[in-house]
């Protein structure tokens, strides 16, 4: 079974988690990057005009991706990582899901958050990853250990 860790990280927390997960899962690692990187001012959720706020208020928003080189076709299982923004996945994750064919794949969301859960994001990911089996998402600390992640992987119905 070939595994891919595809992740988006705005501040580095999800990137750290994704790296540890790639090691725990013996998986390839791919960073989902927007064509226009987010700057600190873009991420100020208290500013109604901040880029991330504007994007998240539009469910149809699909920020352009920096590339279309994710090795999704070669993977059987895609662990999809991201920070929680407004109780769901960031819009750049929606762009990623719209770009690739997930038919016959298993998608496993994992995310970082100060305490928020995935909320409506689980259903959104299930719809956007058309043709995939999407497992329930799980929140982790950016500092999750490799052993903690291995234990989680062992509980997943990946076969």
**For every one of its 159 residues, what pLDDT tens digit does the chain have, with 9 covering 90 and above?**
999 999 999 999 999 999 999 999 999 999 999 999 998 888 887 788 888 888 988 989 999 999 999 999 999 999 999 999 888 899 999 999 999 999 999 999 999 987 777 888 899 999 999 999 999 999 999 999 999 999 999 999 997
Burial 54-86 (b: 16+ CB within 10 A, else e): ebbeeeeeebebeeeebebeebebbbbbbbbbb
Domain 3-155 - what CATH class? alpha beta
Distance CA 117, CA 120 (A): 9
Enumerate the β-bridge partners of residue 6.
30, 80
């Amino acid at each position: 079974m070939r595994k891919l860790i595809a992740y988006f990280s705005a501040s580095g927390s999800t990137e750290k988690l994704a790296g540890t997960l790639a090691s725990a899962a013996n998986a390839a690692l791919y960073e989902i990057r927007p064509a226009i990187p987010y700057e600190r001012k873009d991420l100020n959720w208290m500013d109604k005009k901040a880029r991330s706020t504007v994007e998240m208020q539009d469910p149809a928003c699909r920020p352009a991706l920096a590339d279309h080189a994710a090795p999704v076709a070669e993977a059987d299982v895609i662990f999809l990582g991201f920070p929680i923004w407004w109780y769901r996945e960031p819009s750049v994750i929606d762009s990623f899901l719209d770009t690739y064919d997930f038919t016959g794949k298993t998608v496993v969301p994992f995310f970082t958050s100060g305490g928020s859960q995935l909320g409506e994001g689980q259903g959104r990911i299930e719809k956007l990853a058309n043709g995939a089996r999407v497992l329930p998402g799980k929140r982790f600390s950016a500092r999750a250990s490799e052993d903690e992640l291995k234990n989680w992987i062992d509980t997943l119905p990946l076969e």
